[in-house]
Amino acid sequence: MKSHFDKIACVVLLLALLGAAPFHSGAQQKRAKGRALLVGVNYYQQAPDVPPTRGAEEDAEATAELIQQKYGFRKDEIKLLRGPEATAGNIVAEFRRWLIEGTGPGDRVFFFYAGHGSWLPDDNSDEDDGRDETLAPYDVTTSGERMLRDDLIGELIAQLSGRLAVLVFDSCHSGTISRSVGGGKNVVSDSRYLPSPEEFKQLKLAGVRGGGEASYEVRDQSGDERILRRRDLKLVDEHSVGPVAGVVVISAAGAGQVAHALEVNGAKRGALSYVFGEAQRGRDLKLSQLRNEVKTRITALQRDGRLRGSQTPEFEVISTVPLEDQPLFASALITPAVALANPQSTVKLGLRTREGKTIYRFGETASYHFTTDTPGYLYLIVFSDKDVATCVFPNANINDNWLKTGSHVIARDGREGFYVGEPEGKDVVVALLSATKLDLGGKREEYSWGEVFKLLSNRRFSEYVKTRGQTSQKPAELTNWQAVSLVLEAVR
């Protein structure tokens, strides 16, 4: 098999995606495994003290349909935990088994949670505000038992590095409460904030409780600069997750804001969940466009009086590989870069064409300018359609791929460039530098995508990511390799 650039990918660890067809979302969906876990809780075990989050289970079901229709997830790739199924133990166990252990680099992962959010006092001194943000599973109690802390959520997300992972949280993590007014009028039916154990104690002392449901007021803190200065109010951020590649986190509300539900065709729906689906109906949006569309629609609902509060959804890209200009689950072109990136490494690489361009006509030759601040073995692989990855360097004719620190020109025979020919379309070129010699290239040139992605996956790396490096010094094999990519196009 030949790439457009005559297996020039040897220079860059990955030269992928030959031809235009492999780049549309459908081609990627056929290639990449998908795994989704969706959680929704309408009514809680400790009712009436824990009020309902009506519409949360409907949100999970509607979003499951969305990812099937829009992104090609199969039914057997989707797990739903609703109501009594959504215990703390089940959520964590399925996240680990279904999403982490059941996927590998380059796969697509989706996690969705609709229900209450809350907070607990920080238990490991890693929060500037002294509070851990939390999710409230079905079996949560008003004393805080079985809440899922942000530390745990961050630990789980970190283990998704190298996947194309999207996580959506339609819940609050930042509200506050006060005693209700108006003779016990229920004012919490559309809020997704659960009072903290400390706040519940205050409510009990004040004797505030309605007949069928708890009765208290949930308020935004977005205008209280004093509170915002002392609380970070975020469930998931780069600090809690650590350096990863390929993660997008979407939250219902910003710092100090409360997430609400709204009325849709006579039923309750979470505002973020509803707008997240409607914004993508019949449209293919880049991540940056989706963010703008969701925020614009939320603002319109608030202006029209259909949605309470002032929540502003937040989109956060936690990735060493840029994703802003990609679709929600990125494109096949970006998959090798995400799968092979090493966020734990400090190795600095640079890659560009020697000719200074990225579009070549048939009959031209291309060569590469590669820079590294660390000596090592260089590998170039071409990722192409039909799940084929071709290592063009080293190969049967050139086996010496050790490079010193500095700048290097990579060409087919060291002097002339790689010939550009059929087929027409784009290639992803990835250069991989490793301090140790890998079982890649030489006499064998062709691999599956998965074989290459798994080459650098090992137990020590997995264990290191689980603890976010807090248990020991970084093992050497976790930091002694790095990859960099380049997209080229061949035209007639």
CB 291 within 8 A of CB 316: no
Sole residue written with tokens 């790396």: 461
Q: Which amino acid is at 313?
A: P
Pairing type for strands 164-170 and 247-251 reads parallel
- Would you tell me how many other CB atoms lie within 10 Å of the CB of residue 225? 10
Supply φ then ψ for residue 66, to 5 degrees: -60, -50
Confidence of residue 267 (pLDDT cuts 50, 70, 90): very high
To the nearest whole percent, how much of the chain has pLDDT over 70? Answer: 77
Q: What pLDDT sits at residue 176?
A: 54
Most trustworthy range by pLDDT among 122-131, 274-283, 453-462 = 274-283
- Is residue 221 predicted with pLDDT exceeding 50? yes
- Work out whether strand 368-372 and strand 418-419 pair parallel, antiparallel, or are unpaired: unpaired
Per-residue pLDDT band for 86 (boundaries 50, 70, 90) equals very high
DSSP annotation of 230: H
pLDDT at site 194: 84
* pLDDT tens, residue by residue, 227-236: 444 445 578 8
CA distances from 274 to 157, 239, 271, 334 (A): 24, 29, 5, 28
The two structure tokens encoding residue 36: 């989704």
Q: What is the 3-state secondary structure (H, E, C) of 250-277?
A: EECCCCCCCCEEEEECCEEEEHHHHHHH
3-state helix, strand, coil in the chain (%, to 5): 25, 25, 45
pLDDT of residue 231: 43
Mean pLDDT in residue range 137-141: 96
If you average pLDDT over residues 268-295, what whole number do you get?
A: 96
Helix axes 459-467, 150-158, angle to 10 degrees: 160
Residue 407's pLDDT is 95
**pTM to 2 decimal places:** 0.86
pLDDT the model gives residue 4: 47
Evaluate if residue 464 carries a pLDDT over 50: yes
Q: Encode pLDDT of 150-165 as tens digits.
A: 889 998 998 899 999 9
Amino acid letter, 258: V
**pLDDT for residue 343:** 87
Q: Which CA distances in Å does 376 have to 21, 372, 389, 422, 445?
A: 35, 9, 21, 32, 20
Residue 173: predicted pLDDT: 65
Contacts 24+ apart (CB under 8 A), 121-126: 121/198, 123/149, 124/151, 126/151
Non-local (6+) Cβ contacts of 282 within 8 A are: none
**Alpha carbons within 13 A on the beta-carbon side of 329:** 27
β-strand pairing of 406-410 with 108-114: unpaired
Among 433, 450, 407, CA closest to 485: 433
Percent of the chain with pLDDT over 90: 45
Higher pLDDT: 125 or 288? It is 288
Asked whether residue 112 carries a pLDDT value surpassing 80, the answer given is yes
Phi first, then psi: what are they for 375, rounded to 5°? -70, 155
What is the DSSP secondary structure assignment for residue 446, as one 8-state letter?
Answer: E
- Confidence band of 453 (pLDDT split at 50, 70, 90): confident
Segments in 44-120 forming alpha helices (H): 56-71, 88-94
The whole-number average pLDDT for the span 46-58 is 91
- Decide: 137 and 41 in contact? Cβ < 8 Å: yes
Q: Which domains does the chain have, with CATH numbers?
A: 8-20+332-491 (no CATH), 31-318 (3.40.50.1460)
What average pLDDT score do residues 254-260 get? 77
Mean pLDDT of the chain: 81
Closest CA to 19 of 469, 423, 488, 480: 423
DSSP, collapsed to helix, strand or coil, labels residue 464 as: helix
CA 38 – CA 94 distance, rounded (Å): 10
Helix (H, G, I), strand (E, B) or coil at 192: coil
Stretch 326-335: mean pLDDT: 92
d(CA 264, CA 411): 60
pLDDT in tens, 378-424: 998 877 777 778 887 888 878 899 999 999 988 766 567 778 877 78
Short-list 105, 107, 132, CA closest to 118: 132
In this prediction, residue 237 carries a pLDDT of 81
| pLDDT tops 70 at residue 324 | yes
336-377 pLDDT per residue, tens: 999 998 888 889 999 999 999 999 999 898 888 999 999 999
If one compares 254 and 338, the residue with the highest pLDDT of the two is 338
